[in-house]
Structure formats: structure tokens, C-alpha cells
Chain A
Amino acid sequence: MKLSLGKWLLPVYSGLALLFLMIPIGYTFVYSFNDSLKSNITWRGFTFDKWLNVCNVQNGAVCQAFGNSLFIGAVATVIATTLGTMIAIAIVRYRFKFRSQTSLLLFLPMATPEVVLGAGLAAQFLSLGVPKDMLTIILAHTMFCISFVVVTVKARVASLDPALEEAGRDLYGSAWQVFARITFPLLLPGILAAALLSFALSFDDFIITNFNSGAVTTFPKYIYISAARGIPAEANVLASAVFILALVVVVTVQVSGAAKARRLVKLS
């Protein structure tokens, strides 16, 4: 009996866990087709209207917020990934003063509660007289994204054999050529992972943003505000679209990766 218990326990448990995780997403997706009025709580019938006219409600406030989030995420990601990659290479490859302190400092934003971080930043901006707008949000996001980029890229740099760069220099590559043709391509998977993580973190962030955004509305902030009087189905549409897009990207990468591996096996 014990054996059969072991046989079905894990599948059932995994199935339940998966179901539990998927229900909210499924709910969001289904209710993006709800023919709702102001609030999107009760099912009032199926429609494609919300998907087709997603930017037409409340003078396009949903789309405006969504666009803001995309823009902030993109800018913060580019800055954080560039700086973070440089910091990661410096920390792994070079011995300099305050190296360990730099590492510790980079760890702090990850360890500090977001509320504290957000409030602290808001206080700093206030005392410096910086008006809260898109710029302050980008600054705040860049700051905490850098930490995650450094951690991700550092692991990749550490696994890179320094002899490869030496071989590049030995084969007449100048410092820049060695970086562009050897170091960078080999770090690229780590850098891309870091960039995706940065974007997701920035796009998703509510607490720090809420403290430092002033009048600017991001997508998470919009949903939070509208939650009080009922989230419009357009928000469901955008959230579902992001989910589907991410799913398509992941599946494409996996499938093409598997195809590539098969080709390699055939070759050898």
C-alpha cells in the first residue's frame, strides 16, 4: 500500500499546486472577455470588445499607465544592465580598494524592505528638491535593478576562464576587440538574463514606485488605484497579453534550443 501511496501522492500534490498557481491567471484571462460595465467582478457575458478597444476607456488611462511602465522598465533596464555588467566584471576580475564594501553595498537594496527603500528615497528626493516624476521613478528602479544585474552577471564572469581573454590578447586582439569578440559574447546569456530580470522587476514594482512617482501613473499603480472602485476589464486584457507574450517567447526559445541541440547531435 505504501508503494501505491508514493505513486499517486506526488502527481496529485503537483497537480494541485499547479492548479492553485494557475487559477488567478486563468481568472484574469477569462474576465478579460467579460462584457463588464464599470467593475469587472460579476460575469455579464462574452465579448471581444475589451481586447479591440483596450485604449478607449477613461481617455486611455490604462494604456497610458501601461506605456509608462514599458518606458520606465526599458530605460531602467538599459542603464542598470550596462552599469551592472561593468561593476560585475570589475568586482570579479580586479582587486581594488573598497571592493568588498562595494559588494556589500550592492547587496543592501536586495535585503532592505521595499517600504523602507521607497520612503527613504522619497525623503532624499524631497530634501534635494527633486520633483517627483518619470525621472525619479527611473532613478529608483535603476538603483535596485543594478543589484540584481550584478549578482546575475557576476556568476557568469566568475565561470569565464581568464585564459580565454588572454588567448584573445595573445592572438593580436586589442583590449576593445577582446571585449567585443570574446568577453561580451560569452557573457551575453548572463547579461540577457539580467536584463529580463531587471525589466520584470521594474515593470512589476509598486511599493517603491508609489513613493517616488508623484503624478505619474504606472501600470501596477493604476491597478492599485482602480482596485478601490473596480478594475476595468482593459487591465485584464493588458495583463493577459503580457502573460501570453512571455509564454510565446519562452516556448519559442525552448523549441529552437531543442532543435539546435538535435542538429548538434546529428553533426557529431
Chain B
Amino acid sequence: MTVGAFADRGADLELVGIEKRFPGFTAIENLNLTIPAGSFFALLGPSGCGKTTTLRLVAGLEEPTSGRILIGGADVTNQKSFQRPVNTVFQSYALFPHMTVLENVAFGLRRRKIGDPVAKAHEALLLVELDHLAHRKPQQLSGGQQQRVALARAIVNRPALLLLDEPLGALDLKLRRQMQLELKTIQEEVGLTFLHVTHDQEEAMTMADTVAVMNKGRIEQMGEPQQLYELPKTAFVANFLGQSNLFTGPVVSTTSTAIAVEVSGQKIVVPLGRAHRVSGEVTIGVRPEKLTLHAQAPIHDAGRNVVGPGRVIDVSFSGVSTQYLVAVPGVGTLVVFAQNMAFGPAAHVGAQVWLSWNVDHGFGLDDDPADAPRFEADLDTKTIARQRRSSLITELEGA
């Protein structure tokens, strides 16, 4: 694919064995990722997890320490940023303050010498409903309008791949919803491949077809939003995407369909198909909204796990639902979300309660509970020295 022509459709993005080291820290460790053409892919993670670095690598604003980047099957690892069929919507929008909105949008078209840039820029502005402001300067627009200009400036070039770097971060909730919808519509209309980087789990889940949760330079888990939420593989995913109640204990019995885990004297059953580990010490969990509160010990039911008795230590009302914190001796503090089906809370602070949930709603994590954090922060001087040395050696060998 050449930069001189519009991409007629989105292109696959392939990252092969990408590694990126900065002096004193590893941003990305052996990243392999394929994003199919036409999909809306979200990279989700906390700040410092390497997601923005990944995006900058794809845009060509950073060079990988090792590994290859392929767009539509073509290796672009050694191409400069301006040679790649990729456009970015920057987190700060990065609109050129000395140009009008129209000139901002036409900038990429003019650089590529594409015919009739002004008309095409107007078209893109119509798409984001800002054509009436085409002759303003960016600083005369509101944050949401600037964001839409940044979006128009990127999509007008019909890139094979559109990169979005937390573009909705600076917007208030209502504008954000509006923009999310707009992005989704544009993606469906134009059919580009979207790579969206964000730390907002809700944004990632509502917009993306596929979400990859990134932590410490690695992808922890990747899949459809619902799959990630209902069946998290690691404790990090379980807690970063929503909240989870996690328990650790040994597997005490296994049947053909389920495993039973003993957590301080209470048996908790998890279906075999939802458990990533089936023997030894395991961590299992359940989402807070799957739990039911009981004022008396519930009658034994093979289809439900029961934990308790415990004491309610906090009740917080949030309109649609109420969040209860329940301290169960030996197990820990559990979070329960209960829909407010009736007026008033189901239990008051200090009340004795039991908790139960459908056996099918539990999940077993892949983490080894004994595992220490995967890699230490390599910020000590020895590591920095080692990295500097190895980079110097490669430089000398190259010369």
C-alpha cells in the first residue's frame, strides 16, 4: 500500500515479537498481536502499562527495540511516520493553532497531493457536523468540537488504520457518550480498522469488538468484552475490568463437571469449563452483582455456593443499585451489588448475612497464587547500566 492513495478498506495490523526498552524500564515485553481488518480493537490498561507506547510504535513515532510491525501484510517497521498509511487522533488533539479548522483537516491531503483537498476536507467536517465552523481557529472551539476536528483531520485521509489515543479523556460524560456513538457510527460507515488506547474500561467495553487488557508491557487477556468480563483469566483482569470477589484455597475434589475449592472451611464449587487451573492452590472468584444477600442461612442447594455468616460493614446507595461490603471471618471482605428492586436497603450495617451465588457464575483464574509479580521494576542502577551497555554494543556493531 502506498501513501499516495486512499486505502479502500481497513488493513490488518500485525505486531510480531515487539519489545521496547527505554533507559531504566521496559515498556513492552514480547508483544504479539494481530488485529483483523475492519475491527474496532481496544487496548485497555492502567497508565504506564505500555499501551500508549504500543500506539506510538504503530504510528512510527517510536522505534521498537526489536520485533516487526506489519500493516496489511507489508512490513513498515523501518518506515518513517509520514510514510505509513496510519493516522492518529492524539490525546491532546494536537490541532495546529496557526491554521483554520479547514486547513487543519486538509493538511494531510495537501501533503499527499491528493486532488481537491478543500472539498474533501469540507466533506469530513460535514461528517463530524462542524462544517459551519470551518474558518475558525482551533482555540475558538470547545473541547468536544476540537476533538471532532482531530477526528476529521485523521479520517479524511482514509488511513488503513486509525489510532485513537485516549481521545475522549478530556471530555465530560455527556459529550463522551456522544463521541463514543459518533466514533462507532463513523467506523461502521467508513469501515476502517480502529485501534483505540484507553484506561477507561467502560469505554473499551462499550465501543470495541475486541479488548486486550494490558499490564506491565504484556497482554494479559484478549477477547470480546463480555467474555473478558464474565471469564477473566487473571486477577489483574478480574479487578481492572469491574470488581471481583476473589478467594484462594486448595482444590479438594474434582468431578467430571466441576471442582470444589476449600476456602477457610467452606466449599466453593466452580464448573470445570470455567476454571483455568484444576489442581493445587487456586484462585477463584465471582462478580459482585452475581451475589445474593440472605438474612438467614439459605437452605442447601447443590446449584448454589454459600458463604457466611458475615457482617455488613458498609452500605452505599448509588441510585440503580446498592453496594454492600460484607466481612466474612476467614474469607475476607466481599462486595455485593444489589439492584434496588424495592425501597430501602436489604440489609443494614451490622446485620448478619449469608451470601450465595449460582455455581455457574464463578470463575477460576489462571494465576498461580504463589507467583510473585512477573517482572520487577528494573529501575535499579545495575539494570540501567546493563541496558545502556547493550544498546552501546549494538550501536558499535552497527557502525
Instruction: Tell me the A residues contacting B by CB distance below 8 Å.
Output: 161, 163-164, 166-174, 177, 181-182, 185-186, 264, 267-268
Contacts and interface: CB of A to CB of B under 8 A. Distances in A.
Contacts of B53: none
Contact of A173 (B92, B107, B137, B140): B107
6 contacts: A166-B61, A166-B94, A170-B60, A170-B82, A174-B111, A186-B98
A264 B87 contact: no
B304 to A, nearest CB: 53
B111 A170 contact: no
A177 B92 CA distance: 22
Given A177-B111, A267-B136, A169 B98 contact: no
Name, among B3, B91, B108, the residue most crowded by chain A CB atoms within 10 Å (CB to CB).
B108
B112 A167 contact: no
What 6 pairs between A and B have smallest CB-CB spacing? A171-B108, A167-B94, A163-B94, A172-B111, A169-B81, A172-B82
B348 interface: no
Nearest to B92: A163
A164 B86 contact: no
Mostly, the B contact residues are loop
Q: Which of B80, B96, B140 has the most CB of A within 10 A?
A: B96
Given A166-B61, A166-B81, A172-B3, 5 more contacts: A166-B90, A167-B96, A170-B82, A170-B86, A171-B107
Contacts of A267: 136, 140
A161 to B, nearest CB: 7
Given A170-B61, A172-B82, A173-B82, A185 B98 contact: yes
Nearest to B150: A167
A165 to B, nearest CB: 9
B288 to A, nearest CB: 39
Interface in B69-127: 80-82, 86-88, 90-92, 94-98, 107-108, 111-112
Contacts of A182: 96
A4 B80 CA distance: 69
B98 A163 contact: no
A171 B137 CA distance: 19
A163 to B, nearest CB: 4
A182 B94 CA distance: 11
A248 B157 CA distance: 46
A240 B347 CA distance: 89
A171 B86 CA distance: 8
B87 A171 contact: yes
Contacts of A264: 137, 140
A180 to B, nearest CB: 11
Interface residues of B, number: 27
B94 A164 contact: yes
A181 to B, nearest CB: 8
A266 to B, nearest CB: 11
Interface centre among A166, A167, A173, A181 (most CB of B within 10 A): A167
A267 B81 CA distance: 36
Interface of B: 3, 59-61, 80-82, 86-88, 90-92, 94-98, 107-108, 111-112, 136-137, 140, 153, 157
Contacts of A181: 107
A177 B81 CA distance: 13
B136 A268 contact: yes
A262 to B, nearest CB: 14
A166 B92 CA distance: 12
A132 B153 CA distance: 57
Contact of A172 (B59, B94, B112): B112
A41 to B, nearest CB: 52
Nearest to A186: B98
Given A161-B94, A167-B94, A267-B140, A172 B61 contact: no
A182 B96 CA distance: 7
Contacts of B153: 171
A177 B111 CA distance: 8
A174 B97 contact: no
A145 B342 CA distance: 78
Contacts of A177: 111
A182 B107 CA distance: 11
Nearest to A264: B140
A168 B87 CA distance: 10
Given A161-B94, A177-B111, A186-B98, A170 B59 contact: yes
Contacts of A168: 96, 107
A186 B94 contact: no
A167 B98 CA distance: 14
A185 to B, nearest CB: 5
Contacts of B80: 169
B111 A164 contact: no
Contacts of B94: 161, 163-164, 166-167
Contacts of B86: 170
A244 B136 CA distance: 36
B73 to A, nearest CB: 21
Contact of A163 (B82, B90, B140): B90
